[in-house]
Amino acid sequence: MLRWSDPLTPLNLTERVNPAVLLIFLAILVFLFLMPFFHAPFERDQGTYATIARGWMKGALPYRDLWDNKGPLLFLWYVASFVLLGENIVAPRIMAAVAAGLTVPFVWASARRMFGRREATLAAIMFTLSFADIYLQATANSEIFMLLPMTAGFWSFVMGTQKNRGWWFFLSGILTSLAVFTRQSAILTFAGYYAWLAMICLRQRENRSRTLMAFAALTSGGLLGAVPFGIYFAIHGALRDLWNAMYGFNVHWVAEQSFALKFVPPLFIEPGPLVGGLIFWIMAAVGFWKLWRRKDIAAWLVIFFLAASEVAAQVMGKGSAHYPIQLLPGAAIAAAFGFPALLEYWKNGGRAVRAALSAAGLVTAAAILFAYTRPTAESRFTVQYTFRDYADDAIGAPAIAKAVAEKSDRGKCVYEWGRSSQIYFLADRQPCSRWFYDRPYKSYPSMISEVMEDLRKRKPAVLMVTSEIPPSPELSKFISEYYRYSCQVNYAKLYEPKDSYISHAQATKNRPFF
């Protein structure tokens, strides 16, 4: 299909072993970069995923019984970590570090196929070192689990462009679909592939039939990757719940975010990761410019892949430190071209250029060392989340969870009004409603009626108010009628059932829904 020379040449045994040793070393290095944060406080998003994963293991179904707006494969990563390593806060973080480490070979192999050994080695090194930027908050969030299937899909797509075999594009579609079912933003990776194929179709008319074959194979693979999830949730009568959570809600939620901020890169909205990886992002930007000037099809493929990742992070219209994680594979390949360029600038540039590069390197090193030299996982976590209030909330959550566990029997359900979803997991208590945190309420206020129905039916053993936003009028009335104030632990007000309500709950013998 494509007119580019194959950079691969026959290799002797030494040349084959050395890259393998390097890649194993780099994968271990990724793990070591993330290890100091394994025991950090469980933040609210991770608590949500862990609560759903544990519920799924006990018979609850995501979306139908426990709601979140991420893909089901993310929860399966958590399930796998709990099965292999136990139900604790460290397990999913170890799994995330392993997944990130396994992504390294695919970054290397993609760059190796497109450009050569030197660029591949630099890309793999840059990708690995990018995880030293702890301000990306790459612990066990959806973006880090998405990297492995997304980057493997990119490698498969690169193989398809070189081998002219439809099944490589087919495999790329399957893998990219798995990335989508981890985090929906990966769907724009398909858009990047389609745009690149459309460009090839226009430029190389003699290869139009093969390009159309690639279109069809990629699409077929993407659809096939979605089939197991569709079948599973259809069998359990929750296909509509899956669709509404992954796409219906997210489209509505994205539309609610600032339109102006959709034109601003998240790195500028949330500058922590920009500061912590400043020299890396400069190399990636310079490399992007170098690739743009090359104007060959391999360079354009990286550009389209990186652009799709940036749009996926940016279209949200809000800043979150972990959004730029999706850019790391493409940015690392671009940085492989930016690094030699910066060395050239250093060699031939004047004092101003050297001073600027030195300052960028010093800022990056200082920001990273400032976090890694903190004496405890908790203090490193506070720096990682740039001293925000939700870092304080995560630090205070274990004490709240302990109080909730003391005030309720195992197997009983509880309910929290707020966004500290990690309390459920830390207390080992089930939520009383599938809407177990308040994000969807902000988009769909009418869902409070379903919440109230669930609470009346399941009668929470403890009600928690952790948000600064007061409960809805319906929930406030329910609390005043049937619950009494118990105590305040950190930022959480705890309420226990009144004696009359306890007797009624025991008489009806209501149980949690899973």
Residue 382 lies in a domain: no
Residues 208 and 80 in one domain: yes
pLDDT reported for residue 287:
97
pLDDT reported for residue 38:
96
pLDDT reported for residue 11:
52
Separation of alpha carbons 301 and 190, rounded Å: 12
pLDDT reported for residue 512:
57
Q: Would you give the DSSP letter of residue 470?
A: P
Residues 339 and 479 in one domain: no
The amino acid present at 343, given as its one-letter code, is L
Residue 45 lies in a domain: no
Among 336, 368, 400, residue at a domain's last position: 368
Residue 59 lies in a domain: no
Q: 3-class DSSP state for residue 447?
A: helix
Residue 508 CB coordination number (10 Å): 10
95 in Cβ contact with 140 (< 8 Å)? yes
Q: What is the pLDDT along the chain (514 residues), one digit of tens a residue?
A: 544 444 444 455 455 558 889 999 999 999 999 999 999 999 999 999 999 999 999 999 999 999 999 999 999 999 999 999 999 999 999 999 999 999 999 999 999 999 999 999 999 999 999 999 999 998 899 999 999 999 999 999 999 998 888 899 999 999 999 999 999 999 999 999 999 999 998 888 777 888 899 999 999 999 999 999 999 999 999 999 999 999 988 888 888 888 888 889 999 999 999 999 999 999 999 999 999 999 899 999 999 999 999 999 998 888 889 999 999 999 999 999 999 999 998 988 788 889 999 999 999 999 999 999 999 999 999 999 988 888 899 999 999 999 999 999 988 999 999 989 999 999 999 999 999 988 788 778 888 999 999 999 999 999 999 988 889 899 999 999 999 999 999 999 999 998 766 655 554 555 555 6
Residue 377 lies in a domain: no
Separation of alpha carbons 303 and 379, rounded Å: 38
Separation of alpha carbons 171 and 8, rounded Å: 22
Residues 201 and 286 in one domain: yes
Q: Would you give the DSSP letter of residue 247?
A: I
Residues 403 and 474 in one domain: yes
261 in Cβ contact with 269 (< 8 Å)? yes
Q: 3-class DSSP state for residue 473?
A: helix
Separation of alpha carbons 414 and 496, rounded Å: 10
Q: 3-class DSSP state for residue 489?
A: strand
Separation of alpha carbons 250 and 248, rounded Å: 6
Residues 362 and 421 in one domain: no
**Token pair 């995560």 is at which residue?**
394
Residues 423 and 468 in one domain: yes
The number of distinct structural domains making up the chain is: 2
Residue 265 lies in a domain: yes
What are the structure tokens assigned to 318, written together? 């809000």
Residue 114 lies in a domain: yes
pLDDT reported for residue 222:
97
Distances from the Cα of 300 to the Cα of 210, 284, 303, 391, angstroms:
18, 15, 5, 40
| Nearest CA among 308, 26, 76, 97 for reference residue 192 | 308
Residue 352 lies in a domain: yes
Residues 297 and 431 in one domain: no
Residues 347 and 397 in one domain: no
Residue 56 lies in a domain: no
Reduced 3-state DSSP string for 359-385: HHHHHHHHHHHHHHCCCCHHHHHHHHC
Separation of alpha carbons 26 and 333, rounded Å: 15
Separation of alpha carbons 415 and 24, rounded Å: 45
Domain that holds residue 262: 13-37+69-368
| DSSP track, 37-89 | GTTS---HHHHHHHHHHHHHHTT--BTTTB--SS-HHHHHHHHHHHHHH-SSS
Residues 402 and 358 in one domain: no
Residues 345 and 393 in one domain: no
pLDDT reported for residue 204:
80
Residues 343 and 198 in one domain: yes
For 356-365, b where at least 16 C-beta lie within 10 A, e where not — what string? ebeebeebbe
pLDDT reported for residue 131:
97
Residues 113 and 18 in one domain: yes
Among 305, 338, 368, residue at a domain's last position: 368
